[in-house]
Amino acid sequence: MKRYEPPAGWAVQAYKFALDPTEAQVGGLRRNTGAARFAYNHMLRRTCAVKAQRAAEVSYDVAEADLTPWQGWSLPDLRRTWNEAKQWVAPWWHECSKEAYNTGLANLSAALGNWHASRTGARKGRRMGWPRPKRKHARRSARFTTGAIRLDPDNRHVVLPRLGRIRSHESTRKLSRRVQAGTAKILSATVTEAAGRWFCSFQVAVRRTVGRPTHAPRSGRVVGVDVGIKRLAVLSTGEMVPNPAPFTAALKKLAKAQRRAARKVGPYDPVAKRKRTPSNRWCRAQATVARLHGTAQAVRADSWHQLTTRLAQQFDTVVVEDLHVAGMVRNRKLARSLTDAAPATLRRHLAYKAGWYGATLHIADRWYPSSKTCSGCQTVKPKLSLAERTFDCTACDLSLDRDVNAARNLAALVRHVDLELPGDAKTGRGACVRPVRPAPAGRAVGREASRPVQPVNVVRQRTAADHALSNA
């Protein structure tokens, strides 16, 4: 599927609304999402059958020209094959929207393409395996790109193809005003089910006027942000944002709900070692567990959205670290707390919110020893354990919180960049995202930096120690 490229001055944005469908509408939503899963699994089985057939023919020394033709992996090829076979494999196909089947075929095309790119080395990261069939009780989703996709004038309903008018749990006025003013255009709508609730996400092309809102005055030009576990983030201004830790707060309720679910008759019989029909009580118990997980996820997302929006609105320049979260999670003692805090969310949110409000996002080098460096005299400690929560400098007798010291070091990295920013970044007409690699005073060792940083020409702010040395 070709990716939509917005025109100049426009950006692609998502608006997500919770739905309150009726029982009949829930049945329609499940039929369409189930149709997407059925089309995905059927074409995956066909692709696997063709692959196995060709392998068998090759083992019998069949000529290349006589082999069974490959099943195309592109979306047009998959759609063409599906349209030829749907009359026999899915005689009920007319009960669902064509966009539901297209959703499953598009997902399969992307999965097969990613597998091939990973196998040939064109895709970075961990090697991907062959796509697996989608389970019946997995995450339900369907995407609509054509047909009647709009918001009702009363701002309390959404209209989707073959599903009709569905009431929204919250007002859609925020998006409706943009659509009516001509500054937004709905491209597609995706319905999903999470923790027993249905949501509708609109992909919208929005014309944005980059700038700072009037209700968010500037409170500083540069701010360094150090993320953590006990605190969600610590700013160079001294502010410490508390971490709600929603998963940790729900552990007792979650353990109780999971114990109840374990006592119910589930979909697998461990004695007979075969599948069975789960009981209604098991389904209700699993729904309770899913709701607890959904609540924790919603609280975590709300905390990060509030923080990142405030940073992008109130500051001209935001400096964050390039954290290797995947490596940090390997520590089994910190894995649960790190996953609950989700520190990588800060950079992901600021990457696009900085462009909305005319801020500049800088990313410090991964190996920069922000916690080991003194923010007063720039002396680098050779070792700093995680148990030391207060930074005590032996050179200038500075003593302050470890995270505040790291945030101040991050903010000091780019104070010289104001003279080098391009014109668009100075006037706030877009975000400037750039890496920052400082030149340390010496080789930093230990947990935070395990290899030396190549020195680059970076002008840092002159401290009192620098003035004393120059005057001596």
In order, the DSSP letters of 231-249 are EEEEETTS-EEEP--HHHH
448 annotated active-site: no
Cα separation, 195 vs 294, whole angstroms: 6
DSSP H or E run through 93: none
Sign of the C-alpha dihedral, residues 323, 324, 329, 332? Answer: negative
321 annotated active-site: yes
The end-to-end CA distance of the chain, in Å, is: 67
Query: Which class for 102: exposed (0-12), middle (13-18), buried (19 or more C-beta within 10 A)?
Result: buried
Decide: 406 and 234 in contact? Cβ < 8 Å: yes
316, 340, 365, 403: the catalytic one is 403
99 annotated active-site: no
Pairing of strands 197-207, 220-227: unpaired
Cα separation, 309 vs 432, whole angstroms: 17
Sign of the C-alpha dihedral, residues 81, 86, 159, 198? Answer: negative
The residue with tokens 């008018």 is: 165
3-class DSSP state of 263: coil
Beta strands in 39-137 (DSSP E): none
Cα separation, 36 vs 13, whole angstroms: 24
193, 226, 340, 448: the catalytic one is 226
- Give the distance from CA 57 to its chain's centroid: 43
Decide: 320 and 361 in contact? Cβ < 8 Å: yes
Beta strands in 122-194 (DSSP E): 141-144, 150-151, 157-160, 164-167, 184-194
Over the range 371-392, which residues count as b (16 or more CB within 10 Å of their CB) and which as e?
Answer: bbbbbbbbbbbeebeeeeeebe
193, 316, 321, 365: the catalytic one is 321
Decide: 389 and 399 in contact? Cβ < 8 Å: no
DSSP state of 8: T
Cα separation, 173 vs 199, whole angstroms: 16
The residues assigned a catalytic role are 226, 321, 403
